[in-house]
Amino acid sequence: MRHLIVNADDFGLSSGVNRGIIEAVENGIVTSASLMVGQPAAAEAAQYARDARRISVGLHVDLGEWTFRNGDWVPLYSVVRIEEAAEVAEELASQLNEFERLMGSKPTHIDSHQHVHRQEPVRTVVSNAARKLRIPLRDFTADIHYCGDFYGQDTEGKPVPGALTLEGLTAILRSLPEGITELGCHPGYGEGLATVYRDERAIEVEILCARRLRETLHQIAITLCSFENILFRSGSTASVS
């Protein structure tokens, strides 16, 4: 059996991003989202999630954003110094508190903007929080495979022509392993955004809402689910490494 969580990152980044994510929930295959609690449209995103109750919502830990320039990654903005564990821990606690204020509940999962939690000391700080909350952490939870292949830029932030197509996403889906997979995505509309991933968002919305996708999922025996309704093999909780 193959189960698929389709998780939209950057929920709350802007009204345009929210609109695209909601469209991909209502008319497409998105089943989950990760909320950026400090961004301008976070309250709007949280209200939709609370009222509609159609998706699981996790915390998209936001410690900054970087862009690739002159052979190096440079910050577009920085929330804390990511090399300082104490600062990261304090900021994470603040974002978790804000998440509960906005959503009225704890997050169903944790991940981070531009995957900053993959590196130390952020990894240890965020892993400890996920373990304490007993919720999944992207890339570090047993039995949940993360797939980030549905993305329109390369490792240096350059657009990859043809990367975002219905045929490409179909091929990704067909290649997924047995068990539970989280497929990352970034649907939205980019008006007013000053971010490294903008124009690709609307293309993602169109693909994720393609009617053929659900037919494909049925044909290849993949069941859509969310973080809220999956049954972890360890019981009802996540095992974070």
Radius of gyration of the chain (CA): 17
- Decide if 154 is catalytic: no
Q: Which two tokens stand for residue 102?
A: 């906005």
Per-residue burial over 89-122, b = 16 or more CB atoms within 10 Å of its CB, e = otherwise: bebbeebbebbeebbeeebbbbbbbbebbeeeeb
Evaluate whether 227 touches 146 at the Cβ level (below 8 Å): no
The sign of the torsion formed by the CA atoms of 196, 139, 128, 35 equals: positive
Cα separation, 40 vs 187, in Å, equals 17
Q: Which two tokens stand for residue 128?
A: 């400890």
Evaluate whether 186 touches 8 at the Cβ level (below 8 Å): yes
Active-site annotation holder among 9, 10, 62, 111: 9
Q: Which amino acid is at 89?
A: A
Residue 149's alpha-carbon distances to 175, 176, 182, 183, 185, in angstroms, are: 11, 11, 11, 8, 9
Which positions are annotated as active-site residues? 9
